[in-house]
Structure 1
Amino acid sequence: MLDKVLNARSVAIVGASKNKTKRGFQAIKALQNEGFEGEIYPINPKEEMIAGLCCYKDITQIDGPVDLALITTPARTIPGILEQCGKKKVAGAVIIAGGFRELGTRGKALEEEMIHTAQKTGVRLIGPNTSGIINLKSHMNLAGIPNVPQGKIALVCQSGNMALTLITEATVRKHEGFTYYVGVGNESDIKFHEYLEFFRNDPDTKAILMYVEGMSEGRKFLQEAHKTSVEKPIILLKSGRSATGKKSAGSHTGSLAGMNEVAKPAYERAGIIVIENSDELFPVANTLASQPAIKNNAIAILADGGGHATIGADLLSDYGISLPELTEQTRNKLRGILPQAASVVNPVDVAGGTDSDPSLFADCAQIILNDPNVGGLLIVGLFGGYGIRFEQSLAIGEEAAAHQLGNMVKKKKKPIIVHSLYSAYDSHALDLLRHYNIPVHDSLDVSCKCVASLCKYGAYLKSYHAVTNFVFNWHARAKKTGQQIIAKALEENRHVLLENEAKKLIKLHGAPTSVGHVAKNETEAWDIAKKIPGKAVLKIVSPDILHKSDACGVKLNLKTETEVKQAFREIIKNAEHYLSGADIRGVLVTPMAQKGLEIIIGTKVDEQFGPVIMYGLGGIMVEIMKDVTFWVLPVSPTSCKKMIEDTRSSVLLDGVRGHKGYDKKSLKKLISMCSELIEAYPEIEEMDLNPVILYEEGLDVVDARIILKKPLPGT
């Protein structure tokens, strides 16, 4: 779909200029200077020739076909120019101008007009507010960034400055280069997921590097990432992590669901390698583009000093990566070539064994990578700098080792990452490693992050069969009674189910809960409570009071007639004081739940990803500890286990200090039920089951809150 756009064979520069400071001139010169293999058509009604090329008054006057238009004119001119592009059957347009929805109401209206015109004419849009695009293979540079290195990474970026940063880093640090660069801009037409599809099918792209500020169709992106990441890695940095999502007074789920809380686990479940530090972004992409993944989460360290070896081991352990014990055969072979003082456990410290012959690094690496317990190798220390630090003649041994290490990766299909203090120096040995696509870094922290990313990607590939594709395909069925409950609420212009209605709905789908009965007066309350074996709970029933505890609308541990009747009166009085004129339907009387572990399960509709589910510690602890995890729905019974394990409190479920633990089977069943419920009833906006009391056997949904979607204006 995007082939004619990103692989254009002919480009029209709308707004071409003779002024060397203008984008319309710079774009033409960049195409000429870099040897663009297609046709270039300047468009300017006031000029006859620009940069030695015949100039056209408008795009419709060009005789030959035009695949792509680079439009450098102001925002207000764009819709009219797109009309002309449509008449010429132009496949796509790159819109440089800003001044659209980022400027408010007028800009938003102009952007909507532009999108409508593009859809009507069939012209696909990159941008607006974009820095441009580059195709390194055909030398089509429409971003004006000179000397971009060619390589195997596709760069999809929502910031021109961030793109320049990454390109500069690749150039200066001699990292892997690029196949394409796309400045996404406002993402008005072509979406992130469409770029993923294109680059998944591009044989020259081995990894996709993304910087994302906002995303309009997050679920489609996850679905496309699910298909793409099994074939080639996606590395992503999402900015705005500290900004919380839209607050909702309706539920705990809504108030706790910030952007990063939802986005990060969703991206990771789709196989995306999520980066949170910008200085790690390109090194990780470089590594994943050039090295095989580690599928056994096991790495060996080869060092020429104890300090770096220990720090590296600590960093890898922090990432949860195993440093496996080397086999006795491996250790014996290392002893045979290293001095007696060397440490041949993992990490391996050569203890001066390479001081006179750095080529021993390759011999040690060969032995270590032959070990069946080892999935990859991290070399740390001075490699590449022996000829600089000690004696120039030692550089010969380093270069020989570099050749051997480069061939080793291809033969063993196990990655090698190199940390070198001399990474920034002019070292031929390190340049040789880079020639063989072995990553070289001057930061040990970054090196270990690269190793961790190889392990994470390997683990994803290993478990791909168990990963969701983010598509609702279980065909869950709504119950007739459930539909009636929701219909009744909407008929009354209510967007909140009463607690007894919410409990009845989830009970219809198998959730263990006591619905209880609504009492209209204190006598009815006692008539209901006295039939309950054990103690009773009374709670206010009002569509206007969502948070019952805030209104002092809950009374616990009630047994006698006096306690129940007094509680009823106090609850009604408190509710009227809390919200004058509230629609009070009565008081719900339910059994008092037994003590157990309180958890929360909730759902909400996220603006980017659609329905998501939350799990974590419940009761008052959800606000204090915030030990929760969010997953994009649907979740399968299998994935519920991983969701539970994502929380710090998951260890409590296995039991501590002699406790037998809790019924995880029933918990997973309830989480799966919630996923099916959201599919079955698309009217649900948010749902909170809090608390859910988990026992050694079984569970009890003590409180349930369901908020329905409000109709869109005009519907």
Structure 2
Amino acid sequence: MLNRLLEPKSIAVIGAAREEGKVGHVILDNLIEAGFKGDIYPINPKADEIHGLKTYPSVSAVKGDIDLVIIVTPAKTVETLIEEGGKKGVKNIVVISAGFKEIGIEGARLERQIVKTAKKHGIRLLGPNCLGVINAHIGLNASFTRVGPLKGNIAFISQSGALQTAVLDMSQELGLGFSKFISLGNKADLDEVDFIQALAADKKTSVICLYLEGVSDGSKFLRVASKIALKKPIIALKAGRTAAGAKAVSSHTGTLAGSEKAYIAAFAQSGVINAASLEQLFSFAKVLSKQRTPKGNKLGIVTNAGGPAILASDFAAKAVLRIESLSGSTINNLAKFLPSAANLYNPVDLLGDAKADRYEKALKIVFSDENVDSVLVILTPQAMTEIDKTAQIVAKAAKNSKKPIVCAFMGGPEIKKAQDILQLNHIPNFIYPEEAVKAIGSLVTYSKIKTRPKARYISYAVNK
């Protein structure tokens, strides 16, 4: 239904500007720089060409079909432009412009009117008051971001466009690759449910991330999310959890925030993974987009440092994980080559002088243990540590096992190259062991979601 919005062949930008720094100019720049292969029609009655592209006074002056229209003109002009687009046969419009329900009563009236006009022509509307839309795999960056995303398999749907710009800027450092970036804005028409449905069949998307300030239709969200969560993980960060946050939400997008407990219960019921913070949202996304789910919740830890392993063990219980004793044969095999001071149990402490070969032998043995469903590898950069070589060993071990593996290579500049090696081999790395453990916990959570019975939802008529 939304194919032409997410994968358009032609785009018109109403409000395309010649002046650098204006939103209409930035969007046109981004479309060109991202390498969009379709037709681009800048709409500006006061210009003949922008960036070598012929400009048009209106969408009606464009001879070809237009799959997607981006509007960046003042709020009071939007209704007329939607009407004109409808007469042209346009079916998808993104309204970047602000000045609608987020500013009060008059803005809300304008918003209702543009929705009414769009529905009259069968137009689907994204926004208003939004950042735009990005499809990294086709060179579509119809937004006013400063940078585009790395290509990947995570889709990010957000009510906050500014939050998305920050995430884009951090994405390379975080090792995150995105398929789609969808800014909902005020959700006057299209909302999170519409895009979750659209992304369910998207082969380029493996994980769906949500930043929500509120949900428009709770029962519909439950029905759709519970069905799609069986196929793809959905991770949600709900903002406005406190009274102060809810007040901020209302002034941001004009949304009613709702009860925190109600959302947590709804997420659990529908199979949506609840993220408590932005850091958690993308930690979970990173591991779910790169690793298979484990068969159970038993975690094996291999480390060259006792302290971080203890911290990881402490957090395991909070992350629905269990640290089981290793089998007798595993302990015996470890004892054959590890120093006498090493810990042969779980966590397996290889000691501070462990080089890459010690990690290699230990990982092979621990991976084969029936009391281990997933493995956490912890490394601290000590004087004798072969950091980069160990990363290569971990990558090799991951390829030879069907069990998920996550790393906590701790440090700064010393581990940078190793991080790159792990990222290249689709192995998530976290600076802190607690983050790694919580991320592995999300794998276990999703494993349970995938195997649970399909939910049934019954609606009752009530007298309101």
Which TM-score band applies after superposition, normalised by the shorter structure? over 0.9
SS of 2:182's equivalent in the other structure is strand
Partner of 2:153: 152
Query: Aligned-pair distance for 1:258?
Result: 6.1
Residue 359, structure 1, aligned to residue 357, structure 2 = yes
SS of 1:374's equivalent in the other structure is coil
SS of 2:134's equivalent in the other structure is strand
Quick one: distance in 1 between partners of 2:80 and 2:388?
64
Partner of 2:343: 343
Quick one: distance in 2 between partners of 1:286 and 1:306?
26
- What amino acid maps onto 1:682 in structure 2? V
Partner of 2:427: 438
**Closer/same/farther in 2, CA of residues 443 and 231 from structure 1, 3 Å limit:** same
Quick one: distance in 2 between partners of 1:242 and 1:99?
26
SS of 1:262's equivalent in the other structure is helix
Query: Aligned-pair distance for 1:148?
Result: 1.7
- What amino acid maps onto 1:6 in structure 2? L
Counterparts of 1:615-694 in structure 2 under 5 Å? Answer: 679=460, 682-683=462-463
**Closer/same/farther in 2, CA of residues 374 and 402 from structure 1, 3 Å limit:** closer
Partner of 1:296: 296
Partner of 1:25: 25
Partner of 2:393: 401
For the 8 Å contact 2:231–2:450, the answer to whether it is kept is no
Query: Aligned-pair distance for 1:244?
Result: 9.5
**Closer/same/farther in 2, CA of residues 471 and 137 from structure 1, 3 Å limit:** farther
- What amino acid maps onto 1:367 in structure 2? I
- What amino acid maps onto 1:454 in structure 2? L
Counterparts of 1:183-582 in structure 2 under 5 Å? Answer: 183-243=183-243, 259-352=259-352, 354=354, 357-382=355-380, 385=381, 389-390=383-384, 394-395=386-387, 397-408=389-400, 412-422=401-411, 425=414, 427-462=416-451, 464-465=452-453, 467-472=454-459
Quick one: distance in 1 between partners of 2:167 and 2:402?
28
For the 8 Å contact 1:402–1:432, the answer to whether it is kept is no
Quick one: distance in 1 between partners of 2:168 and 2:410?
23
Quick one: distance in 1 between partners of 2:320 and 2:430?
21
- What amino acid maps onto 1:403 in structure 2? A
Query: Aligned-pair distance for 1:169?
Result: 2.5
Normalising by the residue count of structure 1, what TM-score does the alignment of the two structures yield? Answer: 0.61
Q: Deviations over 1:8-35 (max 9, x none)?
A: 1111010111111211111111111221
Structure 2: which 5+ runs fail to align? 247-256
Counterparts of 1:138-177 in structure 2 under 5 Å? Answer: 138-145=138-145, 146-173=147-174, 175-177=175-177
Partner of 2:251: none
Quick one: distance in 2 between partners of 1:380 and 1:236?
28
**Closer/same/farther in 2, CA of residues 258 and 130 from structure 1, 3 Å limit:** closer
Q: Deviations over 1:157-212 (max 9, x none)?
A: 11122112222232123x13100100010111112111001111001111011111
Q: Deviations over 1:648-675 (max 9, x none)?
A: xxxxxxxxxxxxxxxxxxxxxxxxxxxx
For the 8 Å contact 1:208–1:235, the answer to whether it is kept is yes
- What amino acid maps onto 1:34 in structure 2? A
Counterparts of 1:73-88 in structure 2 under 5 Å? Answer: 73-88=73-88
For the 8 Å contact 1:294–1:459, the answer to whether it is kept is no
SS of 2:180's equivalent in the other structure is strand
- What amino acid maps onto 1:407 in structure 2? K
Quick one: distance in 2 between partners of 1:102 and 1:27?
23
Quick one: distance in 2 between partners of 1:358 and 1:324?
25
Structure 1: which 5+ runs fail to align? 247-256, 473-678, 684-708, 710-715
For the 8 Å contact 1:76–1:110, the answer to whether it is kept is yes
Query: Aligned-pair distance for 1:399?
Result: 4.5
Q: Greater RCO between the two (CA within 8 Å, min separation 6)? A: 2
Quick one: distance in 2 between partners of 1:195 and 1:75?
24
- What amino acid maps onto 1:303 in structure 2? T
Query: Aligned-pair distance for 1:359?
Result: 3.2
For the 8 Å contact 1:424–1:442, the answer to whether it is kept is no
Query: Aligned-pair distance for 1:395?
Result: 4.7
- What amino acid maps onto 2:335 in structure 1? R
Query: Aligned-pair distance for 1:396?
Result: 5.9
Quick one: distance in 2 between partners of 1:426 and 1:239?
34
- What amino acid maps onto 2:43 in structure 1? I
Q: Deviations over 1:326-353 (max 9, x none)?
A: 1111111211231122111111111246
Quick one: distance in 1 between partners of 2:66 and 2:356?
57
Query: Aligned-pair distance for 1:360?
Result: 2.4
Quick one: distance in 2 between partners of 1:244 and 1:427?
39
Quick one: distance in 2 between partners of 1:62 and 1:377?
58
Quick one: distance in 1 between partners of 2:416 and 2:173?
14
Q: Deviations over 1:89-132 (max 9, x none)?
A: 11211101111111221111111100000100111111000011
Higher radius of gyration, 1 or 2 = 1
For the 8 Å contact 1:406–1:433, the answer to whether it is kept is no
SS of 2:164's equivalent in the other structure is helix
- What amino acid maps onto 1:5 in structure 2? L
For the 8 Å contact 1:97–1:129, the answer to whether it is kept is yes
For the 8 Å contact 2:209–2:235, the answer to whether it is kept is yes
Normalising by the residue count of structure 2, what TM-score does the alignment of the two structures yield? Answer: 0.93
Quick one: distance in 2 between partners of 1:119 and 1:258?
28
For the 8 Å contact 2:214–2:258, the answer to whether it is kept is no
Query: Aligned-pair distance for 1:456?
Result: 1.2
Query: Aligned-pair distance for 1:144?
Result: 2.9
**Closer/same/farther in 2, CA of residues 245 and 58 from structure 1, 3 Å limit:** closer
Quick one: distance in 1 between partners of 2:353 and 2:362?
10
Q: Number of residues paired by the alignment?
A: 453
SS of 1:108's equivalent in the other structure is helix
For the 8 Å contact 1:223–1:471, the answer to whether it is kept is no
Query: Aligned-pair distance for 1:426?
Result: 5.4
For the 8 Å contact 2:141–2:148, the answer to whether it is kept is no
Q: Deviations over 1:289-342 (max 9, x none)?
A: 111123411111111111111111011122332111211111112112311221
Query: Aligned-pair distance for 1:280?
Result: 1.9
**Closer/same/farther in 2, CA of residues 98 and 10 from structure 1, 3 Å limit:** same
Partner of 2:2: 2
The two structures, once aligned, show a CA RMSD in angstroms of 2.0
Partner of 1:624: none
For the 8 Å contact 2:316–2:437, the answer to whether it is kept is yes
Quick one: distance in 2 between partners of 1:187 and 1:407?
43
